[in-house]
């Protein structure tokens, strides 16, 4: 049972970091385009 909990915890952590990277990455890509948009108008 403890082993199963450990595996689930690792899986959850991996999912969490995956979500964080997916949230941060598009923002990193969008930030420069937002600045460009301000320049153009």
With tokens 């320049």, the residue in question is 39
Residue 4 CB neighbour total at 10 angstroms: 8
**What pLDDT, on a 0 to 100 scale, did the predictor assign at position 33?**
63
| Percent of the chain residues topping a pLDDT of 90 | 0
**What pLDDT, on a 0 to 100 scale, did the predictor assign at position 14?**
87
19's tokens: 């979500």
- Please give the model's pTM, rounded to 2 decimal places: 0.40
**C-alpha–C-alpha distance, residues 5 and 33, integer Å:** 43
Question: What are the counts of helices (DSSP H) followed by strands (DSSP E) for the chain?
Answer: 1, 0
Domain locations in the chain as residue ranges: 1-40
Tens digits of residue pLDDT in 2-41: 787 888 888 888 888 887 776 766 666 666 666 666 776 5
8's tokens: 């689930």
């Amino acid at each position: 049972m403890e082993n199963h909990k450990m595996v689930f915890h690792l899986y959850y952590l991996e999912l969490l970091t995956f979500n964080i990277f997916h949230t941060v990455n598009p923002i990193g890509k969008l930030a420069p385009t937002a600045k460009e948009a301000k320049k153009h108008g």
